[in-house]
Amino acid sequence: MFFHIKELQYNAKPERPDAVYAKKLQEVLGGQFGEISVALQYLFQGWGTRCPGKYKDMLYDIGTEELAHIEMLAIMIGRLLDNAPLNEQEEAAKNPVIGAVLGGMNPQHAIVSGLGAMPADSVGNRWTADYIIASGNLLADFRANLNAESQGRLQAVRLYEATDDRGVKDMLSFLIARDRMHQNQWLAAIAELEAKEGRTVPSTFPIHLEAQGFSYKFMNLSRGEESAQGRWASGPSMDGQGVFEYVQYPQPHAPKPVPRPAPPVFHDTPPSSC
Query: Which string of DSSP letters, residue by residue, matches 171-196?
Result: HHHHHHHHHHHHHHHHHHHHHHHHHH
Give per-residue pLDDT as tens, 232-244: 999 999 999 999 9
Looking at the predicted structure, is the pLDDT value of residue 101 above 70?
A: no
Query: Which of 30, 8, 65, 24 has the alpha carbon at shortest distance from 165?
Result: 24
Average pLDDT over residues 68-80: 97
pLDDT > 80? residue 90: no
Inter-residue contact 220 to 248 (CB < 8 Å) = yes
Quote the percentage of the chain above a pLDDT of 70.
Answer: 88
User: Which CATH architecture does the domain made up of 19-197 adopt?
Assistant: Up-down Bundle (1.20)
Cα separation, 112 vs 200, in Å, equals 47
**Predicted confidence (pLDDT) per residue in 127-181, tens digit:** 999 999 999 999 999 999 999 999 999 999 999 999 999 999 999 999 999 999 9
Question: What confidence score (pLDDT) does residue 254 get?
Answer: 64
Q: Model's pTM, two decimal places?
A: 0.84
The residue ranges of every structural domain in the chain are: 19-197, 207-247
Q: How far apart are CA 85 and CA 155, in angstroms?
A: 29
d(CA 257, CA 254): 8
